[in-house]
Each structure stands twice: as C-alpha cells, then as structure tokens.
Amino acid sequence: MRAVFGLVLLVGMGLAGFAVYMVNQYMDAQAFALEQERARAANIVATIDVYSPSRDVSYGERLTIDDVKVIKYATNNLPEGVFRTQEELFPEGVNVPRVVRIPMYVNEPITALKVTRAGAPQGITALLDPGMRAFPLPNQMTQAFSGELRIADLIDLYWVGRVGSGPEISRLVKTRLEIIAIDEPDANGNGGGNGVVVQVSQEDFADLQVLRAAGTLSLTPVGRNDLESGDLTIETNIRDVLGVVEAPAPIIEEAPEECFRTERRGIDMVQIPTACN
C-alpha cells in the first residue's frame, strides 16, 4: 500500500513539474511575441492624407480636381503649407482651379508656395505677391546659369559701370530677388534658363531701369541656406582689385614772387627790382 502511495506521489510531482514547465514556456512565448509586436509598432511610420498631383504639372498650368489625388505622407516629414482636404485646395469649389507656380511631379505634396490662390488668372500677374512688380532679365545675363536656375530661387544683382568721369566700378545693387518665372527644360532636359523674371518692389524696378541703361547688370545665385541679405556697400574697381596704390602727386614749390618797376633811361625801358606790395 505504501509503495502504491509513493508511486502516486511521484507521478503527481512529475505532472506538477511538467505543468510548471509548460506554463513557463507559454509565458516566455507570450513575452517574446509582445516584444516583437512592440518592435514592429516602433518601426511603423505615422502617415497623413495630403493632396498631390496625379500627373507631372509645369509652371503656368491650371490645377483642377482632375489633376490631383490623395497620397499618404510621413507626418514627421510633412512640408509646410500642404493641403489635407479638398476644401483647403479648392476653397471656392472644384470649378475654380489654381495655377501652378512651381513645377511638381506625381506623389509630390502640393503646397501653398507651389500654386496661386484659387481663381487667380493665368499669366505673370498671378505669380506676383501684393505690391510687387515683375522685372525680366535679359537672356544674355542668365546664359551662364542656363538650366541651373529654378522658380523660387534667389539671386543677387551686381552692376558694372562708371559714374561721371570716375573709374569703372562693380557694386552689389540688389540682393535676394526671387525668381517667379523661367523657361523650363524639355522632357530630355534640354533648353531652359531663359525668360527669367524676378519680382521686385516698385522702387527696385525704377532703380534697375536706370542701372541697366547706365551700365551692365549680372547675377549670381544665392544659396538655399543663406538667410542673410548681401552687403549692399560692397564696391570695387580695377585699382582695388589689383592693389594699385596711386603715387602721391609731386609737390611743386612756388618760386618767390618778384616785382619790378619800369623806368625809361634814354631810349630804353629798364625793369628795376622793387619790393612787392
């Protein structure tokens, strides 16, 4: 009887140990699955619905409801000025389109910077900020950067000329002018860069008209991360560039003043030195 009892006890203890082992295995499996789920959740990127072109669009095109679609975009990398709803993109109704200011491509978020206000007319007037004027740059001025300039780029303008009879000078005259229109390259990347138009204040427009007539204007692009305006006091001439120092003018000593009086001596007129008054 005691042997049977001992056997039953041993079997019971074995079953209990096995049960504990199975419970531990189950708990470990659950903990591993929980860690995997947490890791997967940490790698999930939060997204938001924004509007994007459904086809590539170029400067000056009308952007209608048929040209847009909704895409998912990473919330942490959301550009400023995106449109999240149809009402935001077409506030005056889907029959009142916007005009494209900056070329956009499929799956690129549409932002307020890249389009005009709803209902704005096509053409250069739609691209101007209130109170600003359009100033076209001659193509020969932009040829050095043909194909490199883009809409919304900033440029500085330098003037080379002569004021009166003075030496020819080079001077920074206008800084951080925004390009609002430009001929875009074709599908193969050829052409583009001509027809550059910048927006300027009315005072700047008048200044540039005079400067263009009195000398030569040239441009240089401003870096995208350069947030400071150029130093409009920058001016140089050929002597400054070459480091030429003008020799001082020679000092000419004036001869002492001599005075004479004239006397007649016979038939001759004679000059006799005398003190000067």
10 pLDDT band, cuts 50/70/90, is low
Report pLDDT for 20: 65
Please check the confidence at residue 136 and state whether its pLDDT lies above 70. yes
Residue 219: count other Cβ atoms within 10 Å of its Cβ.
20
Report pLDDT for 66: 93
Higher-pLDDT residue of 123 and 186 is 123
Q: For a pLDDT cut of 90, what percent of the chain falls above it?
A: 27
What average pLDDT does the structure give for the chain?
A: 81
Burial grade of 150 (CB within 10 A; 0-12, 13-18, 19 or more): middle
Report pLDDT for 41: 58
Q: Please write the tens of the pLDDT for every residue from 163-182.
A: 888 888 899 999 999 988 88
Position 148, amino acid: E
Q: Please write the tens of the pLDDT for every residue from 29-67.
A: 777 777 777 767 556 778 899 999 999 988 778 899 999
Please check the confidence at residue 68 and state whether its pLDDT lies above 80. yes
Residue 58 CA to residue 104 CA, distance in Å, equals 7
